[in-house]
Amino acid sequence: MLTILFDGIAYGMLLFVLACGLAVTLGLMNFVNLAHGAFAMAGGYVTAVLMNRYGVPFLATLPLAFIVPAIVGLLLERTLYRPLYGRSHLDQVLFSIGLVFMAVAAVDYAMGSQQQLIQLPAWLQGRVDVLGIQVGLYRSFIIVICGVLVVALQLILSRTRFGSRLRAAVDDPRVARGLGINVSMIFATTFAVGSGLAGLGGALGAEILGLDPTFPLKFMIYFLIVVTVGGTSSITGPFLASLILGIADVAGKYYVPSLGAFVIYTLMIVVLILRPQGLFARAR
């Protein structure tokens, strides 16, 4: 029971790291980016390729799994995404679906359609017994890393000048621009960091979530659930939403395997009907 809770928390934390970039994209620029999963996949493949082909140790690949998607994200944001900010949601959806299709086919072409397996270092494998609970070492590692990231993000958002600018821009881009905040700059930076975090999440999750070319499509709905259910006005909303989603998903798959997916989708629809702005969003 507690093991399931623990696994669920690890899963939820992972989902949060994967999805928090999307929360900012949606909240800040009101851009429906369905291609967010592609950045996560990029990070996962960076790690897989580095480890399997060049023998780089797992930990050393993680920074690269952050940097490469971040740079790709920055380039794409500056070139392709930016012209679409003012456009209709339909355009944005079509554009990002197009990107997803391209990413899926390109990775399939370059890497093959099979699952990418990564070999975790020995000190991260196995489980230990803590107070009678079976605790997976790798999952504890994920919880620690993601926990640190969450705290760091929260501190950056609430304590730094950049964070207050970002919050101002999310609340009201027009006024923020009027106050001399360079919203476009802030957005480019956040987009890059969000893509990088997604990449890091993809690398960390390669072991748990699996990694194959259809990754962006498979997990798109999860990212979107985190963001829509959590709301885009704070970082705690998506965080709580991803914890709930992670625990519900793991518990659902464990206790009622035949109903696992129903629970998630039904919950999502119900939440969105009752609270269209998200569970934790302030009413506007």
Partner 1 sequence: MHADPTAETATPSSTADAVRRRLVRKGRWSVAEIAFWLVAAATLVFLPERHLILNEIAIIGLFALSLDLILGYAGIVSLGHAAFFGFGAYAAGILAKHGLADPLLGLAVASLATALLGFATSFLVLRGTDLTKLMVTLGVALLLGEIANQASWLTGGADGLQGISMGPVLGLFEFDIFGTTAYAYSLAVTFVLFVIARRIVVSPFGLSLRSIRDNPLRARAVGIPVNRRLVAVYTLAAAYAGVAGALLAQTTQFVSLDVLAFHRSADIMLVLVIGGAGYLYGGLLGAIGFKILQDILSAWTPQYWQFWIGLILVVLVLAGRERLTDRVKALWPRSRPSPDGKAQALPVTPAREV
The footprint of partner 1 (CB under 8 A) covers 26, 32, 80, 83-84, 87, 89-91, 93-95, 97-106, 108-109, 174, 217, 221, 224-225, 228, 258, 261-262, 265-266, 268-269, 272-273, 276-277, 284
Distance of closest approach, residue 204 Cβ to partner 1, in angstroms: 25
Distance of closest approach, residue 219 Cβ to partner 1, in angstroms: 12
Exposed/middle/buried for 127, CB within 10 Å: 0-12, 13-18, 19+?
Answer: middle
Distance of closest approach, residue 203 Cβ to partner 1, in angstroms: 24
Distance of closest approach, residue 230 Cβ to partner 1, in angstroms: 12
CA nearest 87: which of 36, 38, 29?
29
- CB of 130 or CB of 270, closer to partner 1: 270
Residue 23 near residue 246, CB atoms below 8 Å? no
- CB of 38 or CB of 64, closer to partner 1: 38
How far, in Å, CA of 258 to CA of 244, rounded? 20
- CB of 119 or CB of 266, closer to partner 1: 266
Distance of closest approach, residue 83 Cβ to partner 1, in angstroms: 7
Task: Give the DSSP H or E segment for 106.
Answer: helix 89-111
- CB of 118 or CB of 267, closer to partner 1: 267
How far, in Å, CA of 212 to CA of 108, rounded? 8
How far, in Å, CA of 44 to CA of 50, rounded? 10
Distance of closest approach, residue 151 Cβ to partner 1, in angstroms: 28
CA nearest 255: which of 265, 267, 263?
263
Residue 182 CA: distances (Å) to CA of 125, 163, 174, 196, 238: 46, 13, 11, 21, 25
- CB of 55 or CB of 276, closer to partner 1: 276
- CB of 29 or CB of 64, closer to partner 1: 29
